[in-house]
């Protein structure tokens, strides 16, 4: 018997983009709308929540008491990662551009916010951790930040690369990585086989959905824009001015 029925309030993990009034999706990639949450707001959850849980915890193994460095704290992934890490009992350093965005990241719970326009995140991470470094780095920057991310790692630290905003290629100082007994892992959701996606969705629902239902973690939504103005939504994202998610609505 199918877990979901027509009329259920659900949202789905749909990587790859595209617009449609109706879609076909595997039921293993469908999630219920958390209790007390609006259906439109819940649309902001699946990709960000699954990305954060599978990488910050599943790959990075973040635990209570550890330090996490979250790049891009003002984005859809970053705003979720800050809240999830704090809910797990971890300490968070995040990066953001400008004092206003930095202040909003702090309001979400970040212990230290680095304004990447004027501060060196490696120095700030080492300063916040008394020279120890970050146990987990969740990185959307890619090649351009590879060397600095390794320098920011603690002994036994885990660098998880999930984006390439600063390029596909970078220079890796293996001696620095070896000295830290560090690991570098690159992951994508889109290329995973269906059974792995199903496991990620199930784990995310089990571990994060209670936090969304209780309000301990919440989606951060910058704007809700009609489908008829979809291009303006893309323009907003490309401008870098959005804080959190941008949703298209009927």
In a domain, 5, yes or no: no
The pLDDT of residue 171 is above 80: yes
Same domain, 141 and 20: no
Higher pLDDT, 19 or 195: 195
Residues 36 and 82 in one domain: no
Residue finishing a domain among 171, 186, 201 = 186
Return d(Cα 156, Cα 183) in angstroms, integer. Answer: 7
Mean pLDDT throughout 7-22?
A: 74
Cα maximum dimension of the chain: 56
User: Which pLDDT score is estimated for 5?
Assistant: 61
Asked whether residue 182 falls in the same domain as residue 208, the answer is no
Identify the pLDDT of residue 250. 84
How does the average pLDDT of the chain come out, rounded? Answer: 93
Same domain, 73 and 172: yes
**What CATH number has the domain bearing residue 70?**
3.40.50.720
Q: Return d(Cα 64, Cα 169) in angstroms, integer.
A: 32
Q: How much is the pTM?
A: 0.94
Phi, psi dihedrals of residue 118, rounded to the nearest 5° = -140, 0
Residue 137 resides in a domain:
yes
Tens of pLDDT, residue by residue over 210-237, are 999 999 999 999 999 998 999 999 999 9
pLDDT tens string 134-160: 999 999 999 999 999 999 999 999 999
Same-domain check for residues 116 and 170: yes
Residue 201 inside a domain? The answer is yes
Sequence-ordered list of residues with C-beta below 8 angstroms from that of 209, at least 6 positions apart, any chain: 31, 32, 34
pLDDT tens per residue across span 92-138: 999 999 999 999 999 999 999 999 999 999 999 999 999 999 999 99
pLDDT band at 12 (very low <50, low <70, confident <90, very high): confident
SS (H, E, C) the chain: CCCCCCCCCEEECCCCCCCCCCCCCCHHHEEECCCCCCHHHHCCCHHHHHHHHHHHHHHCCCCCCCEEEECCCCEHHHHHHHHHHHHCCCEEEEEECCHHHHHHHHHCCCCEEEECCCCCHHHHHHHHCCCCCEEEEEECCHHHHHHHHHHCEEEEEEEEECCCCCCCCCCCCHHHHHHCCCEEEECCCCCCCHHHHHHHHHHHHHHHHHHHHHCCCCCCEEEEEEHHHHHHHHHHHHHCCCCEEEEEEC
Residue owning tokens 């009034």: 21
One domain, residues 57 and 78 = yes
Task: Look at the block and give the residue holding tokens 């929540």.
Answer: 49
- Asked whether residue 130 falls in the same domain as residue 225, the answer is no
Q: What is the CATH number of the domain that holds 218?
A: 3.90.180.10
Q: Is residue 197 in a domain?
A: yes
Give the domain range for residue 233: 10-46+192-249
Do the domain assignments include residue 23? yes
- Tokens, residue 14: 């749909």
Regarding whether 160 and 98 lie in a shared domain, the answer is yes
Please state the rounded mean pLDDT for residues 21-29. Answer: 85
Count of structural domains within the chain: 2
125 in the same domain as 16: no
pLDDT over 70, % of the chain: 96
Is residue 238 one of the residues assigned to a domain?
A: yes
Between CA 145 and CA 169 the distance in angstroms is 10
Confidence at 1, pLDDT banded by 50, 70, 90: very low
Mean pLDDT value of segment 17-21: 72
pLDDT at 3 over 70: no
Question: Do residue 61 and residue 115 come from a single domain?
Answer: yes
């Amino acid at each position: 018997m199918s877990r979901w029925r027509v009329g259920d309030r659900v949202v789905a993990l749909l990587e790859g983009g595209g617009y449609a009034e109706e879609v076909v999706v595997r039921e293993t990639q469908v999630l219920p709308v958390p209790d007390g949450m609006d259906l439109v707001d819940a649309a902001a959850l699946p990709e960000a929540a699954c990305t954060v849980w599978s990488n910050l915890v599943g790959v990075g193994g973040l635990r209570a008491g550890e330090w996490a460095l979250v790049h891009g704290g003002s984005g859809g992934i970053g705003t979720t990662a800050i809240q999830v890490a704090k809910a797990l009992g971890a300490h968070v350093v995040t990066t953001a551009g400008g004092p206003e965005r930095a202040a909003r990241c702090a309001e979400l719970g970040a212990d230290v916010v680095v304004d990447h326009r004027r501060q060196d995140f490696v120095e700030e991470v080492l300063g916040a951790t008394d020279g120890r470094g970050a146990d987990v780095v969740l990185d959307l920057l890619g090649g351009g930040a590879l060397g600095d991310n390794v320098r920011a790692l603690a002994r036994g630290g885990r660098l998880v690369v999930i984006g390439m905003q600063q390029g596909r290629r970078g220079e890796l100082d293996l001696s620095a990585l070896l000295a830290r007994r560090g690991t570098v892992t690159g992951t994508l959701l889109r290329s995973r086989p269906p059974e792995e996606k199903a496991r990620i969705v199930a784990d995310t629902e089990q571990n994060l959905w209670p936090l969304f239902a209780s309000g301990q973690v919440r989606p951060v939504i910058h704007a809700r824009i009609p489908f008829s103005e979809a291009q303006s939504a893309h323009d907003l994202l490309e401008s870098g001015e959005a804080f959190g998610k941008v949703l298209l609505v009927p």
